[in-house]
Structure 1
Amino acid sequence: MKIRFWGTRGSIPVSLTTQDIRQKLLSTLQAANGRTFADEAEMARFIAGLGFEVSGTFGGHTSCVQLIPEGPEHVILDLGSGVRALGQHMLARHGPGQPQTYHVFLSHLHWDHIMGLPFFTPAYLPGNRIVVHSGHAKARAALRRQQDEPSFPVDFDYFGADFEFVVHTPGVAQTVAGMTVDVMRQRHSGDSYGWRFVDPTSRVIYSTDSEHHVDDLTERQAFVDFFRGADAVIFDAMYSLAEAVSVKADWGHSSNIAGVEMCLEARAKRLFLYHHEPVHSDSQIVQILQESRRYEEIMREGQPLEVHAAWDGLEVTL
């Protein structure tokens, strides 16, 4: 299975500012001061060594992840603003004359996780099939409502694709696109749901918009069991531990430290920090990643846990 991240920010889309870009250019020029380069290949090697906070960006789209299992059907996790680019990619790959099936799994119905649907081009193409999987019975109503006037000029009924809605129940596994799919209710305003996807070779967890209370050991153990043996855990790491237990307690999000601890206990292989705080710069996210990796080294008792910070465009083969 492959994972491709199309949107990794939380709450609201953000973009690089002129000041951000100038700072990256200044850092590059400072590092290159006095150097000459023989060709573009040498320049590329130099840029690659600058650090991701200078040579790249984590991006600004809200939640959207693609799972690429074996088989012809497509799997999308959340419909944040990143799904627009995913739709363009799919249209370029398959063309308008090749009907496709898209399975969409929603963590919850807050706007940052559904706002991309009106801009998802495959939804407008007759012959396409879009199956929306959710733990919420009101998923259909939520997707229709955001396109009602005066909020949006295109009504939901204008979509050409055939929509289906499936409600999942925690504890009841279903088979979708060749994978066994389980769902788990999470602590978040209005409830959110974490998803576990298992195929013959991989186990992937998608757990965003979930708050973990350090004193709720029963709930913590339930998540550890849900994460058990995962090849990849995509985890809401919006806050620092200090923020999560103090000023932003009960805001419905978690920390990088909680993710590291639970994934270590679950013997997961990879942790992807996700749902990045929109006010955090690339440099701040890199700092959080470095702190997370140091904490993993300190707390590790068995096999190592790979810790990564997800970014828009990242593709991982499990």
Structure 2
Amino acid sequence: MQVRFWGTRGSLPVAARAETVRDKIAQALVAAGGRSFADTAAAHAFIEGELSFAQGHTYGGATSCVEVDVGSGPFIVCDMGSGLREFGLDSLRRCGQEGHAREWHFFMSHLHWDHIMGFPFFVPAFVPGSKIVIHGGHADAEEALRRQQEEISFPVPFDYLRADIEFRTLSPGQDYRIGDVTVSLIGQHHSHSSYGYRFTDSKGKVAVYSTDSEHKIDHMDGEADVVAFFADADLVVCDTMYSLADSVAMKEDWGHSSNVVAIDLCHEAQAKRLALFHHEPTYSDADIERMHAESIRYEELTRETTPLDVVCAYDGLCVEV
């Protein structure tokens, strides 16, 4: 199983401003100390070996879109944020070159705009013969997708799409099969509710996708159902939009969680790896990198048994599960 991140920001897609790119280049030039590089390969080696991630890269700015790839069968995708456009183009390439079926299964955490805004730009939806199945715990998913393509909001109506599109409402506590993958879901704390998903492949590997869910540090005794849902997962993709200070002091009841709470839940669940996800759109690359470093340190200080590997999701990251 591979988990690919096509969009990792929360609430609002963001792009690097001109001065941000300028500052990254300036920092790289200073770090190079007057050295010259024979070719781009040498320059890449310098970036990878001597610059921090935030100096030499970016975490990206597309909103939530994560692919669960088991190597065969239909495509499985969590959410339809702005990262969906790039995934759609890449998946069509793989249909042609790698023999994937022209079938896409979406699992929706919820229906807020940042999680559905990519669908009007999902090219396979315009291709006759494509099959798209949209799964979720919300019975009003079709209404939400149609509404964002009404004329007042978008020039292309939903009915113009040429794919065979089906909506399926799922229930927590039940297992569902998509090809060789078993899927279950859990209700979460968020406006208009949200759902987390647990994917288990034929080899027993488990990836959990849990975003837009608020777990309060002073109510962790009520999270037993979440711990059970995360139990022994090989990868948990978790909403860590805020630092603990922000989640408690300024943004309580906003429907999101912190890096500290995610680590506590994964420790209790004995999960193997945590991916920090749904990054705050006002956080810079340096802010996100600092939170990642603080998360690693907190995991080390609170670890009781097996280490939890803490990675930080970025647009383009691919994790082997």
Structure 1 residues 302 and 98, CA, compared in 2 at 3 Å: closer, same or farther? closer
After superposing the two structures, state which structure 1 stretch, 65-74 or 244-253, moved more: 65-74
Matched, 1:270 2:258: no
Could you tell me which of 135, 142, 145 is aligned with 1:143?
145
Map 1:54-65 onto structure 2 (within 5 A).
Answer: 54-65=55-66
Relative to structure 1, the CA distance from residue 218 to residue 176 in structure 2 (aligned partners, 3 Å threshold; closer, same or farther) is farther
Structure 1 unaligned regions, length at least 5: none
1:91-130 matches, within 5 Å, as 91-95=92-96, 100-130=102-132
Identity %: 50
Once residues 128 and 38 of structure 2 are traced to their aligned partners in structure 1, the CA distance between those partners, rounded to angstroms, is 52
Matches within 5 A, 1:185-204: 185-201=187-203, 202-204=205-207
Distance 2:198 2:297 in 1: 27
- Give the Cα separation in 2 of the matches to 1:37 and 1:99: 44
Q: Structure 2 counterpart of 1:150, which letter?
A: I
How many pairs align? 318
2:215 paired with 1:212: yes
How far the C-alpha of 1:54 sits from its partner, in A, is 1.1
Q: 1:22 to 1:247 in 2, by over 3 A?
A: same
Corresponding residue for 1:223? 226
Distance 1:38 1:101, change over 3 A: closer
Deviation at 1:39, TM superposition (A): 4.5
Partner of 2:77: 76
Contact 1:273–1:310 (Cα < 8 Å) also in 2: yes
SS in 2 for 1:264: helix
Paired residue type of 1:299: T
1:148-159 equivalences in 2 (<5 Å): 148-159=150-161
Gaps of 5+ in 2: none
Deviation at 1:245, TM superposition (A): 1.4
1:1-22 alpha-carbon deviations (Å, 9 max, x no partner): 0011000000010000001001
Kept in 1: contact 2:73–2:101 (CA 8 A): no
Contact 1:70–1:178, Cα closer than 8 Å, also in 2:
no
The CA deviation at 1:172 is 1.2
CA contact (8 A) 2:74 2:104 kept: yes
> Which whole-Å deviations, capped at 9, do the CAs of 1:208-248 have from their partners, x for residues lacking one?
00001223345311111110000000000000101111210
In the other structure, the counterpart of 1:253 is 256
1:116-164 deviation per Cα after TM superposition (whole angstroms, max 9, x unaligned): 0000000011111100000000001111111011111111011100111
TM-score (norm 1): 0.97
Q: Choose 150-159 or 67-76, whichever is displaced more.
A: 67-76
Give the AA of the match of 2:142: R
The 8 Å contact of residues 59 and 312 in structure 1, kept in 2 or not, is answered as yes
Partner of 2:10: 10
The Cα of 1:263 is off from its aligned counterpart by 0.6
Counterpart for residue 302 of structure 1: 305
Which range moves more in the overlay, 88-97 or 293-302?
A: 88-97
TM-score (norm 2): 0.96
Aligned-pair Cα RMSD in Å: 1.5
3-state SS of the aligned residue for 2:218? Answer: coil
1:241 alignment partner in structure 2: 244
The alpha-carbon deviation at position 173 of structure 1 amounts to: 1.3
